[in-house]
Amino acid sequence: MTITAAADGSALGNPGPAGWAWYIDEDRWDAGGWKHGTNNMGELKAVLELFHATSGVDDDLLVLCDSQYVINSVTKWMPGWKRKGWRKADGKPVMNVELLKELDEAIAGRRYRFEWVKGHVGHELNEAADERARAVATAYQRGAAIPSGPGFGVAPSPRPAQPALATPVDAAPRVAPPSLFDIADAASGTPGSRSVTVELPEDEWARLERRARRAGISPEQLLRELAARA
């Protein structure tokens, strides 16, 4: 079988509040972003997260993308960049190299192809991805809750932790999932504060960590926010 998905990015001001999204259908999509990023970062991240989300299935992947930069990066330029130590023909460093390195690892061994689609012409899947990426960027701009999706519905295959982006994007660094962690409703030691110890299975922790990463915060902070809304 072939999974057909659109991937798109959005940055208000470029650079500015930025979002990414991939979309298969109403039951399978996801989105996230940063307080500060570029459109190309969003485009790359959307494709990267699509590969991560679908890593647990053995299906072909058709990626619909309106970014020639992303398509050419993956299908044409990346092998040469790697041979040159992730530098371009003129010797200058490749932009967005951390995302590209992650993407290079994510596509290894996968069966996929890219198809360019023109953006903003009513293509159903592309419009759905664009709308969700823009919604995340707008939420960061307004300081609102970050909208995310249900994901793919299949647990992704384990993958090694990657270094944080060199370009500051105000995103929380990834942390190794412990079996136990503490959260507090207020600063530790202050009157009225309470400490709660939560034990989560590995799959639940991974889901929590992905949601926190999309929101640009730590898992602990996400738990505090969820507790505050309860």
pLDDT in tens, 97-113: 999 999 999 999 999 99
Residue 155 lies in a domain: no
Whichever domain contains 41, its CATH number is 3.30.420.10
Select which of 66, 149, 151, 216 is catalytic. 66
Q: Which residue(s) pair with 5 in the sheet? A: 63
Give the residue from 116, 142, 168 where a domain finishes.
142
Select which of 30, 102, 130, 209 is catalytic. 130
Give the total number of structural domains in the chain: 2
Give the residue from 93, 114, 142 where a domain finishes.
142
Domain containing 122: what range? 2-142
Select which of 43, 49, 102, 209 is catalytic. 43
| Pair (43, 91) in one structural domain | yes
Residue 45 lies in a domain: yes
pLDDT digits (tens, 9 = 90+) for 166-203: 444 444 333 333 333 333 333 334 445 455 566 665 55
Q: Label residue 11 by pLDDT band (50, 70, 90).
A: very high
Neighbours of 78 (CB within 10 A): 18
Give the span between the Cα atoms of 162 and 48, in whole angstroms. 12
Residue 151 lies in a domain: no
What 3 state SS string does the chain have? CEEEEEEEEEECCCCEEEEEEEEEECCEEEEEEEEEECHHHHHHHHHHHHHHHCCCCCCEEEEEECCHHHHHHHHHHHHHHHHCCCECCCCCECCCHHHHHHHHHHCCCCCEEEEECCCCCCCHHHHHHHHHHHHHHHHHHHCCCCCCCCECCCCCCCCCCCCCCCCCCCCCCCCCCCCEEEEECCCCCCCCCCEEEEECCHHHHHHHHHHHHHHCCCHHHHHHHHHHHC
Side by side, the strands of the sheet bearing 16-25 are 28-37, 16-25, 2-11, 60-65, 112-116
Mean pLDDT to the nearest integer, 133-157: 92
Active site residue 120: yes
Select which of 58, 109, 120, 189 is catalytic. 120
Q: Label residue 214 by pLDDT band (50, 70, 90).
A: low
| Pair (35, 104) in one structural domain | yes
Give the residue from 142, 166, 199 where a domain finishes.
142
Neighbours of 28 (CB within 10 A): 18
Active site residue 8: yes
Residue 157 lies in a domain: no
- Does position 154 have pLDDT exceeding 90, yes or no? no
Active site residue 130: yes
For position 177, what pLDDT does the model report?
Answer: 38
| Pair (123, 195) in one structural domain | no
Single-letter code of the amino acid located at 187: A
| Pair (33, 85) in one structural domain | yes
| Pair (111, 209) in one structural domain | no
Active site residue 36: no
| Pair (125, 194) in one structural domain | no
| Pair (79, 20) in one structural domain | yes
| Pair (124, 58) in one structural domain | yes
Mean pLDDT across the chain? 82
Active site residue 90: no
For position 200, what pLDDT does the model report?
Answer: 63
| Pair (41, 123) in one structural domain | yes
Give the span between the Cα atoms of 104 and 89, in whole angstroms. 19
For position 193, what pLDDT does the model report?
Answer: 47
For position 160, what pLDDT does the model report?
Answer: 52
Residue 174 lies in a domain: no
Residue 170 lies in a domain: no
Neighbours of 199 (CB within 10 A): 10
Nearest C-alpha neighbor of 134 from the set 146, 122, 116, 125: 146
| Pair (13, 87) in one structural domain | yes
Longest dimension (CA), the chain: 60
| Pair (36, 108) in one structural domain | yes
Tokens 């370009």 correspond to what residue?
167
Residue 161 lies in a domain: no
Residue 160 lies in a domain: no
- Does position 217 have pLDDT exceeding 80, yes or no? no
| Pair (101, 210) in one structural domain | no
